[in-house]
Structure 1
Amino acid sequence: MPYPKGHKLKIRHTIVESAAQAFRTHGIQEVSVPVIMKGAGLTHGGFYSHFDNKEQLVGEACRYAIHDTITLLQSVADQETQHSKINAVIDYYLSPYHRDNTSMGCIIPALSNEISRSSEELRHIFTQEIERMIAFISELAQIDNIKGSALFSTMVGSLILARSVQDLERSNTLLIAGKKAAKTLILH
């Protein structure tokens, strides 16, 4: 019996979602194809009927995860009616919730270190996705791309550091300092 129309595309999307979640939490090197396929509820044998290799999946997972993050941040901005929408996004991005929920968080802080040592093709995809995030942040803050780059870099760096330290109090202090620095960038 043949599969319904769109079945293969739906399965591919499920694999990409599983990979994005796993990469956000554990990074690229620590996640194997069998782990990704198991997370998608599939056996690893079918992987190569959807992807040429793991690197292709990483690229698609990055695109998916950035789209997912922008959609989430846009909904955070849309819910803000009293104050600045960009401040609401900064507050969410640099919140303990975002820090602690890596499986659904922004993939850029999760993978930046590994991507810097990846293939040119993967670095190109990641660069495009960073540019997409900067464009989103810049438009929301109504600032140029230079300031948007500084703003997003501050947000990402603050989140990376907050996730890296062992002391929860220090981590919270880094989030607070990151928020303050990010909001100051918008004013100048």
Structure 2
Amino acid sequence: MSQRERQKAESRQRIVRSAVNLLRERGLADVSVSEVMAGAGLTVGGFYAHFPSKGRLAEEAVRQAMLDRREQFLDRPDEDGWRLRLQSAMQGYFSERHRDDVRHRCPMPMAAIDAARDGSAATVFTEEMAEMAKAFEAGADPTGPRAPRDAALGSLALMVGGMILAHATRGTPLSGEFLESVSRFGAAAVEDLEEQV
């Protein structure tokens, strides 16, 4: 790879990372190309050398953000079975620290809102949520005990919906109540499903 090709690849990655950061913070539907490029430390004029449209960038940013999140989920101990794996994921997810950490918060809530509101990267979001569901089912060890599909999908839905409500009510006592209640409810639901299996 030539130096010019390497620089172009690095610039493209900076653009994607800037878009991922904005996705986590507030979604991409109302973000301008100039905001993305400013976040990457690049000029607006260079955007179209990397992407044919903002929509294509949104797709790549959603794919990258969801992959990052999936790898983060899979990077947890897996030997204690699927119930504890899902309960651990929810416990860490429903915290004020995670809710308020703009740079590291989960991209799923904002990506879901974008996909539902204007179809932004909806196909990629659906594909990546399917992959996330598989990760929730199998964990890091595909030979280990699998979570029931209901537990995987239910946990994901609870996490995304619960965090949307916690974000929407942030700054009020209700936000903290959502975090605590949804975490407890999710843990109990997973335990109940384990007893039914």
Q: Same fold (TM over 0.5)?
A: yes
Report if aligned partners of 1:80, 1:88 keep a CA contact under 8 Å in 2.
no
CA–CA separation in structure 2 for the residues paired with 1:155 and 1:63: 19
Residue aligning to 2:87: 87
Q: Which amino acid aligns with 1:43?
A: T
Structure 1 residues 80 and 161, CA gap change in structure 2 (3 angstroms) = farther
Q: Which runs of 4+ in 1 moved over 4 A?
A: none
Residue aligning to 2:175: 171
Residue aligning to 1:58: 58
Q: Which amino acid aligns with 1:42?
A: L
Give 5+ residue unaligned stretches, structure 1. Answer: none
- Equivalent residue in structure 2 for 1:146, among 143, 150, 172: 150
Deviation at 1:4, TM superposition (A): 4.5
Give 5+ residue unaligned stretches, structure 2. Answer: 140-144
Q: Which amino acid aligns with 2:89?
A: V
Structure 1 residues 80 and 12, CA gap change in structure 2 (3 angstroms) = farther
Aligned with 2:29: secondary structure?
A: coil
Aligned with 2:28: secondary structure?
A: coil
Deviation at 1:34, TM superposition (A): 0.8
Residue aligning to 2:36: 36
Report if aligned partners of 2:163, 2:179 keep a CA contact under 8 Å in 1.
yes
CA–CA separation in structure 2 for the residues paired with 1:66 and 1:114: 14
Matched pairs, number:
184
* TM-score when normalising by structure 2: 0.83
Report if aligned partners of 2:165, 2:175 keep a CA contact under 8 Å in 1.
yes
Equivalent residues in 2 for 1:67-86 (5 A)?
A: 67-75=67-75, 77-78=76-77, 84-86=84-86
Pick which of 172-181 and 137-146 moved more: 137-146
Report if aligned partners of 1:90, 1:182 keep a CA contact under 8 Å in 2.
yes
* TM-score when normalising by structure 1: 0.87
CA–CA separation in structure 1 for the residues paired with 2:32 and 2:128: 23
Structure 1 residues 161 and 66, CA gap change in structure 2 (3 angstroms) = same
Aligned with 2:31: secondary structure?
A: coil
Q: What CA deviation, in whole Å up to 9, does each residue of 1:157-186 have, x standing for no partner?
A: 111111111444221111111111211222
Deviation at 1:115, TM superposition (A): 1.0
Structure 1 residues 90 and 166, CA gap change in structure 2 (3 angstroms) = closer
Aligned with 1:6: secondary structure?
A: helix
Deviation at 1:53, TM superposition (A): 0.3
Report if aligned partners of 1:15, 1:36 keep a CA contact under 8 Å in 2.
yes
Report if aligned partners of 2:87, 2:190 keep a CA contact under 8 Å in 1.
no
Report if aligned partners of 1:59, 1:122 keep a CA contact under 8 Å in 2.
yes
Report if aligned partners of 2:162, 2:182 keep a CA contact under 8 Å in 1.
yes
Residue aligning to 1:125: 124
Equivalent residues in 2 for 1:150-165 (5 A)?
A: 150-165=154-169
Q: CA RMSD in A?
A: 2.3
CA–CA separation in structure 1 for the residues paired with 2:53 and 2:189: 41
Structure 1 residues 138 and 185, CA gap change in structure 2 (3 angstroms) = farther
Deviation at 1:8, TM superposition (A): 1.6
Structure 1 residues 104 and 72, CA gap change in structure 2 (3 angstroms) = same
